Amino acid sequence: MISRLLEFKHKCVPEQLGFIPDIYKAAKKYNITDYIVNFANTCSFPSKKLWSVIVNRNIKATEETWWLYRISCDNDFYMFRHIHSAIKPHKAWTIAQQFPELRASAKYVIDLCSVVRYEDEHLLCDKCGKFFLNIVEHLLVSCDFIQDKRDDLWQDIINVNPIQFSVFMDSLSAHEFTTTILSCNTSYELGNDELTFFSKICVRHVEKICRGFQN
């Protein structure tokens, strides 16, 4: 099979039938052809366990590179790529798995992440009279109509240990605060329990704030 792969690689045969073209295309796509060439030259190949690690690592790296490229080329994904920048389950889903009672709220957050965006022109909020470019950012940061629900959010954030975390959250720009809350995650180093608590806060309050504005 190795010889047939190399024949196909170097165009030594006019046509290669069967699964060889598919194998070579997959190897080329995930940048593992060098291992095949090296085996043909030296008869040395990684162990089965190591080969599995190499293949999985290269597939993950390739898919993530293409995924990041796709979302970086479309301005409609500007918010999304700041909310969720890696190919892995959104934090809201992992919280929903741990706490089934939050599944509906988690789905609400996920759906919101896929549609939230900045408008081309300022819009007027008919509830508080302020202008905004991003409705979710407006609700999480500045809308007076739901100030009480935003106060509830901050009360829970203050309860996350250490106390410096709430100072960190307060120091974020409106955009950074919004993307952090929608990601249900944070770049601030929290312990596992505190991060879970914070993620639950985000899942619960995003839906409460948005639905409170709609009612």
The yes-or-no verdict on residue 19 having pLDDT over 70 is: no
The yes-or-no verdict on residue 165 having pLDDT over 90 is: yes
pLDDT digits 0-9 by tens, 123-141: 999 999 999 999 999 999 9
When pLDDT is averaged across residues 80-98 and rounded to a whole number, the result is: 88
Separation CA 166–CA 94 (nearest Å): 23
For the entire predicted model, the pTM comes to 0.73
Integer CA distances (angstroms), 206 to 102, 142, 160, 172, in order: 12, 14, 17, 17
Q: What's the pLDDT score for residue 68?
A: 77
Q: What's the pLDDT score for residue 3?
A: 60
- Least trusted range by pLDDT, from 13-27, 153-167, 192-206: 13-27
Separation CA 93–CA 156 (nearest Å): 20
| Stated length of the chain | 215
Separation CA 129–CA 26 (nearest Å): 56
Contact in structure between 161 and 194 (CB atoms under 8 Å) = yes
Q: What's the pLDDT score for residue 163?
A: 93
Separation CA 191–CA 210 (nearest Å): 28
